[in-house]
Structure 1
Amino acid sequence: MTRRLRIGIDTGGTFTDVVALDEDTGEMITTKTPSTPADPAQGFEAGVQKVLDLLGASRPDITALAHGTTVATNQLLEDRLDDLGFVTTEGFEFVLEIARQSVPDGYGNSYFWVKPPRIVPVHRVRTVGGRLDHTGAELRPFDEESAVAVARWFRDRGIRAIGVCFLHSYADPVHELRMREVLRREHPEAVVSLSCEVLREYREYERSVTTLVDAAVKPTMTRYIQRLTSRMPGGRLHVMKSNGGVLSGEEVIHQPITTVLSGPAAGALGAAFITQAAGRGSVITLDGGGTSTDVAVVLDGEPTLTTEGTIGRHPVKIPMIDIVTVGAGGGSVAWLSPEGTMKVGPRSAGADPGPLCYGRGGTEVTVTDAHAALGRIPPHLLGGEIPLDVEAARAGAEALAAKLGLTLERAATGILEISAWNQANAIRQITVKRGLDVRDYPLVAFGGSGPLLACRLLDILGLPAAVIPENPGNLSAFGLLTVDVKNDYVRTRVERDTALDLAAVSGVYADLEHQAATALEREGFPRDRHRFLRSADLRYYGQAFEVRVAAPDGPLDDAFRDEVVRRFHDAHEGLYGYCYRDDPGRHPVEWVNLRVSGIGPITRPVLRERPPGGEAERTGVRPVFYDDWTDAPIYQRAQLAPGTVIEGPAVIEEFGSTLPLHPGFQARVDGHGNLVVTK
């Protein structure tokens, strides 16, 4: 029998998560397989084959594959950016060296700070004559002769990844396009990224670095996507983007930088989809993996976006879901500082060798080992597929405890306490620093290690509740099945509100919408299914940074302008506690960037409510340490029905994750099968 399967597959640092949806019956199945960091395509292929075997299906049954990948992210985090060249305007060869006059944590705390190496060293920067002003008017013509010399210089030295960023090319891309023509003719093997295509907005430094990052990851992403498509013929491959949308594999190789927060974005979207169905529009999401934990905020069903992100040490000014990442995952290593204090992370044992309890040659105690030593996770993972050596975990914890003069229980609890506070600080960073009261938002905890510290986070932060979705370890993969195709377009147009040329603004929005429509047609969406979302970046005159607000549909008239400005005042007051709504004379509003997102909607899974059931039956008892050792009842998540309430101390286990329910907490199953944990 022929089936129609959509598959979401998220490659993490430790596991590759897979979710398959039968489009005809609505049946959904989840599984996991170990990641293969040396060649992520192997883990991808193994995960797809595993879920097909579970369904008794074959590859021709696959209609679509949606993939969240960390290939580009890992390359940036590990600074594997060799043989990268940069072409810029004559006289601006030191734009990367000058950068921004900013020091981490302020000068008082960074007296010995040393500026990190530039993404491209000075000796691989070349300049070309020609100059535009900020309106795009040509001051000096493009110097073809110097452009040819630059192209040949890179060719002769074998430098094949090249970024091009000319001054004010956001206003008119003509000089950059001519530079690409020269590179194609003189250096046809080069992979070229133009700033006018990667990021068409002002601020030369951020635009330069973003363009260079795109050029750096383009060869790696191209090879990776080509390997996937060659190994997985049939269903069309889509790749998750940082902005909360997906893009076909054919298109993503032309804009690989858009995938740098691919996996974490899918998790935040999956959490938003599930909690909105359960009647919770605004939540904090916490995606706990083996290597790190990713935290985001969902407001009214939509994850918050930013363009002020960084990956490693590189500012990447593209639209991305606002995510804070900390090295506090299940594989995070506990270690002693030179001062003799215990630290946890950010270094991780990863998938290989992994924690001590994996029995694969690991030598250092991890967060997972601490949970195993205290009985908070079962003596196996993935329903028995990965047996755990609990005694190895206990022996490692005892050795660490001896160095600190503590008992095993206190040392293991200390590891978990440090990890919980690391996660709590990440949550504060994404909420309090953005003007949000953390106590107003439930926590959605998912990922393999996400639910493990949920009860402790409720205590530390005063959160009202924690929601644990079904199959939390696979929520990022599920999120890939809920994501629309989405492309973002931006144009800088700096202008005072009092002198705003509405006809010109209307022309820019029309041009951006035309670009978005063209891209959606390439993705196979007919015109009647296109959706366009407008937004604008505004600031008070004299400010250095902007606030983005949604812009309404319809004609661009005075009512449109007044509504955008009103939203800006409201947003500024919400973020910073003040606005100048009543003082436009002294503090005029300035428009900076105009933006359009083109969206091609997909058919999403349907989450059905379930009938209530009876009381839960425990499936066993295990000694577990919370405040003291206790014989805690064990429950299987699959056997819990809506309406069931479990009181702590207890442990709730399932295929991809575990919830240790501390004393004084209870877990209730809601109508969609989520566990709602409260004090």
Structure 2
Amino acid sequence: MLRVGIDVGGTFTDLYAWDEEASGSRKVRMSKVLSTPNDLVSGFMNALSEAEIPPSEISTIIHGTTVGTNALIERKYPEPALIATEGFRDTIEIGRQSRSHLYDPYAVKPSPLVSRDKRFTVSEKLGADGKTVKPLDREGAKQVAEQIAQRGIKNIAITFINSYVDGRHEQEMRDIILEVIPDAKIALSSETRPKMRELGRFVTTTIRAALFPVIGDYITRLEKALKDSGCTAPLFIVKSNGGMMRASTAKERPEEMIESGPAGGVAAGSFMYNMLGLENMIITDVGGTSFEASLVEKGQGLITDEYELEWEMPIITPMLDIRSIGAGGGSIAWIDDGGSLRVGPKSAGADPGPVCYGKGGTQPTVTDANLVLGRLNSTLSGKFELDKEAAIQAIKTVAEPLGLSVIDCAEGIVEIACENMADAIRMVSTDRGRDPRDQTYVSFGGAGGLHAFGVAQSAGINRILIPSFVGVDCATGATTMDVRHDVESAFYQPVNGINTNKLTEAFTKLEEECAELLENDGISSEDMTFERVALMRYIGQSYEVATPVPDGPINEDTLPEITEAFNREHKREYGVSNESFPTAVVTLRVTGHGKTEKPKDNDFQTAMGPNSQEGISSVKERRDVYFRGEKHTVEVHDVSRFREEQEITGPAIIEHPNSEIVVPPDAFANIDQYGFINITINKTINEPNKEVLS
């Protein structure tokens, strides 16, 4: 039976399948097909067909998708109704009154998730201690419910101030709505994320309500297509926290899918840590539309508690700290008003795609530039024929106004794209107190191998690792995931004088909630493990640091251990700590893991490692490739013909079924027992081009 991971991206849909019963090379199946933006389910099923996988032979499907993210960014969802406490109607639009660009007088804030005419208020208020200040106005609440019913709105968010302490008023409001609209789908902020600071809680709850119909419809159609094909396997959805959940759970918690696709890449990085023991990795993924970067330390992706979808739109569910920018193979090159060459963030996507695809694209892209430079196979690894002449003509449209040759302009396009990607690496490393020079650059994505050397060199990283599943990495990572749920509750108390019995009871209650979620996703009690975390801060600070808390009963002897852990985490995150400052607990979190079957190292080595015999050359052809304006006739290697520990001196090209890997001049590459390609870059190469592209 097959454990299948499928990741639907903006340009390609990737599949990686692991046969739990087969042996040798038949253990692994991969496919990469163009996404179908108008009907993503079709692309999903096409990937199964391309990999020749009978749906009846699938044991589990794990699916990563950006359906929710795209719907939010493009505002393509049935607009929900929002009900807030009187006086807080405009919280999600006002935000924190900060500016994304301090000195830009023309800055425009993103449009709110819900337009003002669909935002309602009712009279009620709880104090910060949970006591009733003003009871819910039931008559006013009923009038609001009737107004919403008259508009035909079925997805509703309820966001009352201070409900993070006690959700009884929100629950009361929900009951009133259901009397008027029995089939309404309602999100309560006290159940979505009961945490302090209303903006994040209001936004996250609104997102849940907005995505109810989007995710519900998509998953329902996907489940039907799988059932009609004869597939009876359970469907899991990749979560933003690096775990997965049943599709039925995803319909109820859609806000946990915001970084669903890229999270698979982080899971692949964690899997590689278990294989190779690399403690510090920067995981990158270059697709057709976007570039994602994240850090994996000792096998764990870094978690953020406030991810911003857009400026002033914080999502406060625990998520992997993945930074995405609009840079990929489909990123469009253009000239700005100042006469400078720019690349992205707009992308040609899958339709029409780069000019060289011959599907109607007219604007030059990064893929077109790589083809012109000879770095890209003209058949895209046998998928279809690329039109190099069309790519040349497209690049001329920006090269000629700049007074550049086509080759110089193409190199400029690639260099600018690489610099943009390097900026995202600095966001997840330097911005969080990590030195990128201490990391191994792990390159994922179909376009990852083309740009790995340029991005790594710009970021100051000299070791590159490209796995044997490059191009379908997020799908691969999905097959290695555990079920994971994070549950939280507000618990503000200074550590000095904290009630340890209540603290223990609160953690125990969260563990019970987490166990119920895991059980609903089919996890048995013996396969469950739990981690405790307290979000803590020095008293007077505004934001918290996640601090590990030991299992079992918490007593006075445990508190110094927790405080010491907080100081350690604070210093790692910010570079400073002070043991004399008093500390406070703000929020409690329990993370539950549900263990699943995973590939074993020796099986992976047999299926994906090099197996070519001595005497068989890996060189399949020679090709003209440009580096720094100079033409080199380089050897093109077929990765399937590599021998273990074979070394390659650049310049060279390594062709992979799902990617093209560039080894620049003065760089060296070798392959390990797992089929992973290690590239070491000479620090002196790829120096910035001094020519001003203007």
Name the TM-score, length of structure 1 as normaliser: 0.96
Q: How does 1:216-255 map to 2 (within 5 A)?
A: 216-233=210-227, 234-255=232-253
User: Equivalent of 1:127, from 115, 121, 131?
Assistant: 121
SS at match of 1:387: coil
Instruction: Confirm whether residue 44 of structure 1 aligns to residue 38 of structure 2.
Output: no
Instruction: Confirm whether residue 25 of structure 1 aligns to residue 18 of structure 2.
Output: no
Structure-1 separation of matches of 2:261 and 2:148? 34
- Tell me which residue corresponds to 1:600: 594
What CA deviation, in whole Å up to 9, does each residue of 1:332-372 have, x standing for no partner? 00001011111000000000110011011110100000000
Structure-1 separation of matches of 2:128 and 2:598? 44
SS at match of 2:554: coil
- Tell me which residue corresponds to 2:34: 34
Structure-2 separation of matches of 1:516 and 1:83? 30
Task: Out of 272-281 and 534-543, give the one that drifted further.
Answer: 272-281
- Tell me which residue corresponds to 1:192: 186
User: Equivalent of 2:75, from 66, 71, 79?
Assistant: 79
- Tell me which residue corresponds to 2:10: 13
Structure-1 separation of matches of 2:441 and 2:292? 13
5+ residue gaps, structure 1, are: none
Structure-2 separation of matches of 1:450 and 1:578? 36
What CA deviation, in whole Å up to 9, does each residue of 1:405-440 have, x standing for no partner? 011111000000100100111101110010001100
- Tell me which residue corresponds to 1:635: 637
**CA contact under 8 A between 1:83 and 1:160: conserved in structure 2?**
no
Shift of 1:529: 1.5
Instruction: Confirm whether residue 651 of structure 1 aligns to residue 653 of structure 2.
Output: yes
Q: How much is the aligned-residue C-alpha RMSD, in angstroms? A: 1.5
Structure-2 separation of matches of 1:397 and 1:90? 56
Structure 2 counterpart of 1:441, one-letter code: Q
SS at match of 1:243: coil
Structure-2 separation of matches of 1:667 and 1:363? 36
Shift of 1:80: 2.3
Task: Out of 567-576 and 254-263, give the one that drifted further.
Answer: 567-576
Structure-1 separation of matches of 2:614 and 2:678? 17
**CA contact under 8 A between 1:76 and 1:312: conserved in structure 2?**
no
Structure-1 separation of matches of 2:470 and 2:652? 18
- Tell me which residue corresponds to 1:283: 281
Identity among equivalent pairs (%):
36
Task: Out of 72-81 and 256-265, give the one that drifted further.
Answer: 72-81
**CA contact under 8 A between 2:186 and 2:209: conserved in structure 1?**
yes
SS at match of 2:648: strand
- Tell me which residue corresponds to 1:353: 352
Shift of 1:73: 0.6
Shift of 1:81: 4.3
Q: How does 1:178-577 map to 2 (within 5 A)?
A: 178-233=172-227, 234-313=232-311, 314-381=313-380, 383-577=381-575
**CA contact under 8 A between 2:81 and 2:148: conserved in structure 1?**
yes
- Tell me which residue corresponds to 1:96: 92
Shift of 1:281: 2.4
Task: Out of 213-222 and 19-28, give the one that drifted further.
Answer: 19-28
Q: CA separation of 1:640/1:98 partners in 2, compared to 1, >3 Å: closer, same or farther? A: same
Structure 1 counterpart of 2:306, one-letter code: E
Shift of 1:92: 2.5
SS at match of 1:73: helix
- Tell me which residue corresponds to 2:686: none
Structure-2 separation of matches of 1:611 and 1:638? 7
Structure 1 counterpart of 2:7, one-letter code: D
SS at match of 1:290: coil
**CA contact under 8 A between 2:610 and 2:640: conserved in structure 1?**
no
Shift of 1:223: 0.4
User: Equivalent of 2:64, from 58, 65, 68?
Assistant: 68
Structure-2 separation of matches of 1:254 and 1:665? 49
Shift of 1:557: 1.6
**CA contact under 8 A between 2:648 and 2:670: conserved in structure 1?**
yes
- Tell me which residue corresponds to 1:618: 619
**CA contact under 8 A between 1:471 and 1:654: conserved in structure 2?**
no
User: Equivalent of 1:668, from 660, 667, 670?
Assistant: 670
Task: Out of 552-561 and 666-675, give the one that drifted further.
Answer: 552-561
Task: Out of 76-85 and 427-436, give the one that drifted further.
Answer: 76-85
**CA contact under 8 A between 1:549 and 1:567: conserved in structure 2?**
yes
Instruction: Confirm whether residue 149 of structure 1 aligns to residue 150 of structure 2.
Output: no
Shift of 1:454: 1.3
Structure 2 counterpart of 1:13, one-letter code: G
What CA deviation, in whole Å up to 9, does each residue of 1:522-550 have, x standing for no partner? 12222122111111111111111111122
Shift of 1:307: 1.4
**CA contact under 8 A between 2:156 and 2:186: conserved in structure 1?**
yes
Structure-1 separation of matches of 2:614 and 2:209? 58
Structure-2 separation of matches of 1:641 and 1:154? 67
SS at match of 2:46: helix
